[in-house]
Chains A and B, each alone.
Chain A
Amino acid sequence: MSMTVQRAIARIKAAGHDISDEYATDSCIEFINTAMQQVAALLISARFPSLIKEMTVHNGDSLPQNFMIAAGSYPLRMTNGRVDIIDDDIESVRFRYFATPDMITAETTNLPINHDAINEVIVKLAIMLALNENEYDISQDTTLTTALQQAIASGMQ
């Protein structure tokens, strides 16, 4: 089961010894979102299958939301968010692409990626962002998180 947003926020608050409730929930959500986008970009560069989405494209359709890169090449020309099919014989294209996950909000229940270790990296990164904001020294945390990221990356090879 995926990590709940509630739990991720609690961990960020706990890591900053936030007795005075310094980090508002909204700020924590922003930290999680930033961390999530960063991790998603890394996952996409490693061709992580969970981030693949699929849609049927017709001539003149808009690019899908959060589109990053196509999985393979398609007879499509993308211009300013619009997609045109370049092959006249083809009416529609089954388009598979990598997209970053949707941003979470206060109403979101779970983190979008269903993978414990990856969620761990997201929370660790969010904590680092939070601590960095209050000018803590995060060099040790950076090293640990990088090590965790590398461990996951080598598992995906």
Chain B
Amino acid sequence: MISVKKALKMVRSKLKDNSEILFSDYDIINALSECIRYINNSFAMKNSDFLEKIHEYRVNEINAEIDKYNSTLAEGETPKEYVNFATTGVSLPDDFISLVSVVRAKDGYHLSPIPAVEKVHWNGYKIFANKLYCGVDVDLLYRAKIADVKFSDIQNGGTIDLPDIFLDSVVKITCMILNNTDTDILGEAVKGLMDNLVPNRRYSRIKQRMPFIV
């Protein structure tokens, strides 16, 4: 993971601003967040494995949480309604970009997508209006967006959810943002850097098949 503090130091050094004259920490954190948003946009189209996450959907746990919440409500306040995966659906995670697969929790069986107008059945799922509908408890494998950096991350030792190999690209793009680089050039730079890095990481682990049989 890339440490926010380290990225901040590198940006300052690259901009020759170690005395904190030209840019405040706040400027750099904002530029880092903007850089992450650009990277998120470019990743949305990619098959990048390191952005994949699993979210476990268990109907009993979710409804227990709702029970707990409802018990704290004062009289007159509207209680939350229970979740039923098949009828009410359940919200997708906030950092959801795109779907990889939906598997049944108890045995890992891959559920099949069904058209949005159909009712869900035991081996199918649908994603509709930013909600997941399915008949059983599931694990959702999805591509997540990288979280923004916050000002407090400098003190708290916060990190950017990206492997270290991205450090130089992140620093370079952040410096370009701070220097108000033309957006087209910036877009090209983001695309170029990510196009080089993402596939390298993805495919370098593949075991090469020998071109002959011994």
Please give the residue numbers on chain A whose beta carbons come within 8 Å of chain B beta carbons, in ascending order: 47, 49, 52, 70-75, 87, 89-90, 93-94, 96
The 4 closest A-B pairs by CB, nearest first: A72-B24, A72-B23, A49-B19, A72-B27
A52 touches B19 (CB 8 A): yes
For the complex formed, measure the closest distance between the CB of A16 and the CB atoms of chain B, giving whole angstroms.
38
What are 29 contact pairs spanning A and B, CB under 8 A? A47-B22, A49-B19, A52-B20, A52-B21, A70-B24, A71-B20, A71-B21, A71-B22, A71-B24, A72-B20, A72-B21, A72-B22, A72-B23, A72-B24, A72-B25, A72-B26, A72-B27, A73-B27, A74-B24, A74-B26, A75-B26, A75-B151, A89-B150, A89-B151, A90-B151, A90-B152, A93-B26, A96-B20, A96-B24
Task: Report A-chain residues with C-beta under 8 Å of the C-beta of B22.
Answer: 47, 71-72
A47 touches B24 (CB 8 A): no
Chain A, interface SS category: loop
By beta carbon, the residue of chain A nearest B19 is: A49
CA of A52 to CA of B24 in the docked complex: distance in angstroms? Answer: 13
A49 touches B21 (CB 8 A): yes
A89 touches B20 (CB 8 A): no
By beta carbon, the residue of chain B nearest A94 is: B25
Task: Report B-chain residues with C-beta under 8 Å of the C-beta of A74.
Answer: 24, 26
CA of A75 to CA of B21 in the docked complex: distance in angstroms? Answer: 16
CA of A3 to CA of B26 in the docked complex: distance in angstroms? Answer: 37
Task: Report B-chain residues with C-beta under 8 Å of the C-beta of A89.
Answer: 150-152
Using A74-B26, A89-B151, A90-B152 as known contacts, list a sample of 10 further A-B pairs with CB atoms less than 8 Å apart, ordered by residue number in A. A49-B19, A49-B21, A52-B20, A70-B24, A71-B20, A71-B24, A72-B22, A72-B27, A93-B26, A96-B24
Task: Report A-chain residues with C-beta under 8 Å of the C-beta of B151.
Answer: 75, 87, 89-90
Identify which of residues 6-34 in chain B touch chain A, using a CB-to-CB cut-off of 8 Å.
Answer: 19-27
CA of A132 to CA of B101 in the docked complex: distance in angstroms? Answer: 83
Task: Report A-chain residues with C-beta under 8 Å of the C-beta of B26.
Answer: 72-75, 93
Task: Report A-chain residues with C-beta under 8 Å of the C-beta of B152.
Answer: 89-90
Identify which of residues 48-102 in chain B touch chain A, using a CB-to-CB cut-off of 8 Å.
Answer: none
By beta carbon, the residue of chain A nearest B30 is: A73
CA of A138 to CA of B26 in the docked complex: distance in angstroms? Answer: 47
For the complex formed, measure the closest distance between the CB of A5 and the CB atoms of chain B, giving whole angstroms.
28
CA of A96 to CA of B24 in the docked complex: distance in angstroms? Answer: 8
Task: Report A-chain residues with C-beta under 8 Å of the C-beta of B19.
Answer: 49, 52
Task: Report A-chain residues with C-beta under 8 Å of the C-beta of B27.
Answer: 72-73
By beta carbon, the residue of chain B nearest A90 is: B151
Task: Report B-chain residues with C-beta under 8 Å of the C-beta of A90.
Answer: 151-152
Task: Report B-chain residues with C-beta under 8 Å of the C-beta of A72.
Answer: 20-27
CA of A87 to CA of B150 in the docked complex: distance in angstroms? Answer: 11
